Structure 1
Amino acid sequence: MTTRPTAAILRHLPYFLAVAEAGSLLAAAGRLNTAQSAISRRIRLLEQELGGTPLFAREARGMRLLPAGAALLEEAQAILDAAGRAHARIQAISGGTVGSITVGFAEIVTRQPGMLGALEAFGTAHPDIAVQLRPLVSEEQRAELESGGIDIGFLYHAPEEDVAAALTSPRLRFAARPLMLDPYLLAIHTDHPLAGRKSIRLADLGQEPIIWASHKKNPRLYDRLLAACERRGYAPRIVMETPTSDVTMAVVNRAMGIGFVPASLRGHAPPDVAFIQPVDFDMAMQLSLVWRTDPDGELPGRLARFLDDKLSNFANTMVQ
């Protein structure tokens, strides 16, 4: 029998996600604009709802995910997304909207005032169209676009890839517009000996513990990063895989390793994370807007055209 999440679990999950991604109660409190004690209480209540299973180890430097917490992290966002979709459908029915559009986005997009402002402007101009936002890593966006789970995506891909043509669906068609090229940098703790170097090479990393993109969540990014290192004769000692770059930076912030993250996150890093560009490492990902163009994609096309106009200068206005 399938176990369904209780209402209490759904209420507590956003707090769990904030702590897991931020790495500490203090950072999560700042992100959620609430008291640390309130977040700590939510985590305790969530653990109680899950049969008393501890999710975090409380340590002096912050909160470390335990195996049960790591397992929940993989599922938590999907649970919240499903609840959000159900809520949006009910609101659309009761509010008399003419349609709805589901937008998937990579984490960096939410940090850009230009993108959020464009979506807000569309909502003002088209109050009868419900827009639902779903935070998804790029690999998940591909699958959701192909299945019709989302109508528009802001996703990362290899610069040389024709991402619209690469998406395969028996009934859906897609178009894409490149928004920006995002190079990858090395995120490192400010107390690390390499942090004070003016320049480094990949070979200088030696056997340093490396935090890597999750192969399960981001196989293309995993392989592309690895290929960029191997071309220079460097074999990273991967000690941990993380689902998002935010989690990578949280782990680096606790001096548990170093990792590669997009340069566009540089202005949003935790306080003890510095960035270095190895002189022999040159790897970037393309951020593109992708949308449906099939006959049933009229509403997604309308939003895509609106965003295309509003975000024409997106790369030049990225907050870094």
Structure 2
Amino acid sequence: MELRHLRYFVAVAESLSFTAAAERLGVSQPPLSQQIRDLEAELGTPLLWRTSRRVALTPAGTAFLARARAILAEVEAACAEVRAIGAGRSGTLDIGLTGSILAGPLGRLIRLFGERHPSVLVRLHEMAPGEQPAALHARRTDLGFLRRPPDDPSLRVVRAWPEAVGVALPAGHRLASRPAITLADLRDEAYLSLRLHDSRFARDLWDACLAAGFAPRLVQQVVESASLVNLVAAGLGVALVPESIGIVPRPDIVYRPLAGPAPVADVCALHRVPAGPVAENFLALMRSEFGRADGPAAS
């Protein structure tokens, strides 16, 4: 028995006319009649009473009609679901990120994506940057967002959006009156940093200070940028932070941009190849919102 048999039978049962059913299906009447006879032979019972004037359902045909309709409806629903998943309009999207990334435009991007693809479930997974490649390879996530992509040729890197680096200072700090600060101005300051051993971004900021002619006087290392801001507010030192973190108004912190040669905090999207239809739709929206600039972020 094939789905064709069910479709042919339903058309005849609903029309109660082989002629009308043949027209509805776009087939000639003799093959249609033969398909119905083959179906009845396979089932071992007549489904239709046929006379020269009319066609009627037998009790078995009435019961079979309900089942055939249900089967065809399930098949159509399955086809629609598969098409939606294949087109990226349905399914799940697992995103790995650090908490500081959400201070930028990613939250708005997720909201826009949800408005355009309401049947996609977006799940966020906060994790350290160093954990994101493993999560992608293990298929625990579909996209990762971080500031410094790893050297992994099996993963694709797309620049998501640009972001500057600035200096977070305690309110009342001697440098707070300046409109901009150079890296060299931080030579003698207590330096607060993201944890160097698991943040390439933190190491790049450290290297930028070395290139400016000094080794930072490191006093504390933390996991998240939000923790850096809290330590700055407590007066424990200064920190280099992404602009999205520094510009959040706080009475106990002053944010100043960096002047002269300065590192950047560009955010990158990381994904497997191929990314998959849902992730591709998210990346397409990202490109339309922020412009397209493939490749790793500048150091």
- TM-score relative to the length of structure 2: 0.59
Aligned counterpart for 1:182 among listed residues 163, 166, 177? 163
Name 1:103's counterpart in structure 2.
Answer: 95
1:223-246 C-alpha deviation (Å, 9 max, x unpaired) = 211211111211111010011211
Name 1:302's counterpart in structure 2.
Answer: 281
Structure 1: runs of 5 or more not aligned = 1-96, 158-162, 315-320
The structural deviation recorded for 1:102 is 0.3
Equivalent residue runs for 1:109-120 within 5 Å: 109-112=101-104, 115-120=106-111
1:135-180 C-alpha deviation (Å, 9 max, x unpaired) = 33433323322332210122212xxxxx58x325xxxx54333233
Identity of aligned residues (%): 22
The structural deviation recorded for 1:193 is 1.9
1:133 aligns with 2:124: yes
Q: CA RMSD in A?
A: 2.9
Name 1:121's counterpart in structure 2.
Answer: 112
Give the conservation status (yes or no) of the 8 Å contact 2:96–2:143.
yes
Name 2:207's counterpart in structure 1.
Answer: 227
Residues 311 and 108 (structure 1), Cα distance of their counterparts in 2 relative to 1, 3 Å cut = farther
Q: Which amino acid aligns with 2:204?
A: R
1:246 aligns with 2:226: yes
Q: Which structure has the larger Rg over C-alpha atoms?
A: 2
**Mapped partners of 1:279, 1:310: distance in 2:** 28
> Matched residue pairs, number?
205
- TM-score relative to the length of structure 1: 0.55
Q: Which amino acid aligns with 1:176?
A: V
**Mapped partners of 1:111, 1:286: distance in 2:** 13
Q: Which amino acid aligns with 1:305?
A: A
Name 1:210's counterpart in structure 2.
Answer: 191
Name 2:268's counterpart in structure 1.
Answer: 288
Q: Which amino acid aligns with 2:278?
A: L
1:273 aligns with 2:253: yes
1:148 aligns with 2:177: no
The structural deviation recorded for 1:278 is 4.9
Q: Which amino acid aligns with 2:283?
A: A
Q: Secondary structure at the match of 1:100?
A: strand
Aligned counterpart for 1:167 among listed residues 129, 133, 152? 152
Give the conservation status (yes or no) of the 8 Å contact 2:100–2:224.
no
Give the conservation status (yes or no) of the 8 Å contact 1:146–1:167.
no
